Each structure stands twice: as structure tokens, then as C-alpha cells.
Amino acid sequence: MDLGEGRFLRLQGDLAGVIECRSQLFCSGLPIVRNYRVILLTRFSLATQSRYLIRMQLRGCGTALITPFHQDGSIDDNALRNLVSWQIESGIDFLVPCGTTGETPTLTHDEWLHVIDATIEVTAGRVPIVAGATSNATHDAVEKAKELAARPGVNAILTASPYYNKPTQEGQYRHFKSIAEAVGDKPVILYNVPGRTGSNIEPSTLTRLVEIPNIIGVKEASGNMTQVAEIVASVPDSFLVFSGDDAVTLPIIALGGVGIISVASNEIPREMADLTRAALNNDWPTARALNRKYVPLMQVNFIESSPLPVKAALAMMGRIEEVYRLPLVPMRRDTRSRLQRVITEIGLITKPAAPSPDAAEFFIYENWSAGPHKIVLHRGTCGQCSHGKGRPSGHDANHARWLGPYGTLAIARETAHAMTGILIRSECKCV
């Protein structure tokens, strides 16, 4: 930079050209006197500028999207698109399709691309997209990342530590370095979740990886706040540190993090976005109030393996069908009841009104597993009945069945008394 009288200063910057300084400006911490001509001596590529812009955009709350399925196990494209639209309309800052929450290990290659393409299409550039590309084989992770890097609409790539292999720190460094170098200038965000992968990205390793230009951030889900504090203290201010756990969003932002890649925002996108923005804007009373209200949801979302609870909650909210792919199976009855209680208390679903005795449905449970037929009359809402879907332990479908529903208690009792060949007739205490 020509400061006059033969003095020059070499600047680091994203633009090349000539700037006329018409007022008091500051550059690299040094004042520039008005009316001197500033000549930038270093030219940087548009890719560098692009990475800088992505760094500026990727702040706040991003949703780690679930993947909805139909009952036959196929992807529910309509539900996916509606979910993406709702997220954006609710003010979410960016979207993360095909992460762990999206059950990505169960998706075929074509399905993985379809979910990402559908997200890109619905988003239409309104918010950034950070697409997931993870594998425990480096060559496979590289190929997946290259596919995403070539896709218009993917702004950055999220990639987790290799799972099951348990590589050393040097192995992880080379794994991530290979991915970053293979995708050229496409920004890469690392995902540290040792509870899932069995491998922790230690701060010393992350400090080495930060030196790779297009590795721009990390999603930290180690649960180790001391480690997070060490990371924030050791990386440049421009490096993005995201919380990977909703319940510790506030402390990570307080340490210097820039936001959260969230599970809970699948259910409460507006609220999680407001919570995160409040913390980033130092409005801690608002952030704490929102956190206090929704921390029970953040906790219950992990009462069983994620994404079981969040998908069950979205199904209760009427946004998706509750379908998983093996090895994931539906939640247990006790944990489902706890989840339902939490989302009812915070207002995501309405508590059903208690039915009057005459308005409730009734069922008859017929059982002949021990030889003679027995029947028990139940109210449909009884935990043993579950609207004709319950089955006591040890009873199988070949020796028991539900009859009903019956609209009133009188009709149910009349039907029970009219049944022939029954040795024992009784009524549950729910009646």
C-alpha cells in the first residue's frame, strides 16, 4: 500500500485493485490518512472470497434434518419438502441434510443424493446448505465429498470422524486433509462426535487442521466443555465452532462459538433460532428464558438413540409418519410416554380432553393361551389396551385377539355377555 513519501504496506485482503480513501479508514489495524491512494499489492481468488462469505453466513442455528420415510420404508419426499419449507419460513439460519440425525447410514447412495437435491430445490438459495458426507473409508469419504462439491447449492460439507476404525490422531488428520484437498475450494466443517464414532478430534489435531484453508469450522459434540474452551482459545477468530448438543448451546457461545447444529430445531425451529440469536447478540436474559423452557425437550430428544425421539415427536405433531429403518426400532412405551408428556407441557401438541364414559371407545381382549377362553373389557385409552394394539407379555397373536372398538360401555358389556364359549368374564379397573 502506498502511504505517500515512498512508504508501502503489504495488505492481506480478499480484493485486488485500487481504492481511493476519502475519509479516515482503518486497515490491518493501521490508520490511513484521507486522500492517499491505496494500492493493493496482493491478489486473492474469488474462491477465497467465497469461503470468507460462507464464514460470514454460517452463524446461528442450523437444523440437522431428519429423513422422513413412508410405511413401506421409502423416502417420504412430500414430508421432506414440507419440513424444509417450514424450517426456512420459521427463520432457521442454515440446513444440514444427511447428517447422523438423517439416518444417513441406512440410505443408499441414490437416496443420499436425492435428500440433498430435494433440500437444495426447496431452499432455492434462501439459506446456506451444509450437506453431510461421512465414511469410515477415506477414499469413499473423498468420493462423496467430491460429488457434493460439484453440486450447485451445496455451500459447505460436513464430515465426521471415521467410525469403528478408531484411527490415531495422525490418521484423523490425514483423513480430513485428504477430503479437504479433494474438494478444492469448497468449505469443509468437521464433526467431532466421539460418542458415535469412537474417535475424538483432540484440540492439537484440530489446530493442525485449521491450517488447511478450506477447513472453516467444527461441530463439537464431545460433551467436554474443557476441550471446547481449549479449542476456542487455540483457533483463529474466523474459525467457526458450533455446538453439536442443544443443551450446551449457551455455554459454547459464551466461550466464543458461533451457534448450534441442532436436533431440537426439527421440532422448534423458530424457538431455537431465537435462542441462538439472542445469545450471539448478548441478550442473555432472553436466551436463558428460552433455554429454561426448552431444555426438557433437548434432553428428552436423547432419552433413546437419536433420532428416535425427535421423529416420534414430529409424528405426534402430525408432520411425518413415525417410520425408522433397522437397526432403529420404535421407542419403548415408557420413554414414549415421557416424550409425549414433555412436548405436551411445552405446547407442541395439545393434551387430549379426558373422554366421558359414554364417549370413550371400549375393547374386549379375548385370550385362550391357557386353554379356556377368557375376556377382559378395557377402555381404549388404557395402557394395557392402547386402542386395541397392546399385548401382555407372553401372549401371542395365535392365542389372543382384540375385539372392538365399541362406542359405549353399554354396547361393549352387551357384546361381552353375548359371547359364547367364554369361561371367565372380567373388566379392567380402567372401566
- pLDDT value, residue 2: 38
- pLDDT value, residue 31: 39
- pLDDT value, residue 36: 31
- pLDDT value, residue 291: 98
pTM for the model stands at 0.72
- pLDDT value, residue 121: 97
What pLDDT digit, counting tens, does each position of 194-219 carry? 999 999 999 999 999 999 999 999 99
The answer to whether 240 touches 55, Cβ cutoff 8 Å, is yes
**Range with the lowest mean pLDDT among 37-51, 341-355, 380-394?**
37-51
- pLDDT value, residue 83: 98
The answer to whether 96 touches 158, Cβ cutoff 8 Å, is yes
- pLDDT value, residue 56: 66
220/200 Cα distance (integer angstroms) = 10
**Range with the lowest mean pLDDT among 82-86, 240-244, 406-410?**
406-410
Distant-in-sequence, close-in-space partners of 47: CB < 8 Å, separation ≥ 6: 184, 185
- pLDDT value, residue 212: 96
What pLDDT digit, counting tens, does each position of 290-334 carry? 999 999 999 999 999 999 999 999 999 999 999 999 999 999 989
What pLDDT digit, counting tens, does each position of 142-164 carry? 999 999 999 999 999 999 999 99
- pLDDT value, residue 16: 32
271/259 Cα distance (integer angstroms) = 14
- pLDDT value, residue 178: 97
- pLDDT value, residue 47: 52
Residue 370 reports pLDDT greater than 80: no
Assign domain 51-345 to its CATH superfamily: Aldolase class I (3.20.20.70)
3-class secondary structure, 403? strand
Residue 352's pLDDT band, with cuts at 50, 70 and 90, is: low
> Mean of the pLDDT values across residues 107-113?
97
- pLDDT value, residue 54: 66
**pLDDT: which is higher, 220 or 22:** 220
- pLDDT value, residue 393: 58
Stretch (H or E) spanning 149: helix 138-149
CA–CA distance from 284 to each of 242, 271, 278 (Å)? 18, 15, 7
- pLDDT value, residue 148: 96
What's the mean per-residue pLDDT of the chain? 85
Residue 55's pLDDT band, with cuts at 50, 70 and 90, is: low
Residue 350's pLDDT band, with cuts at 50, 70 and 90, is: confident
- Type of residue at 40: L
76/71 Cα distance (integer angstroms) = 9
Alpha carbon of residue 429 to chain centroid: 42
Q: Where in the chain is the domain with CATH 3.20.20.70?
A: 51-345
Query: Active-site residue numbers?
Result: 191, 219
- pLDDT value, residue 240: 97
- pLDDT value, residue 43: 32
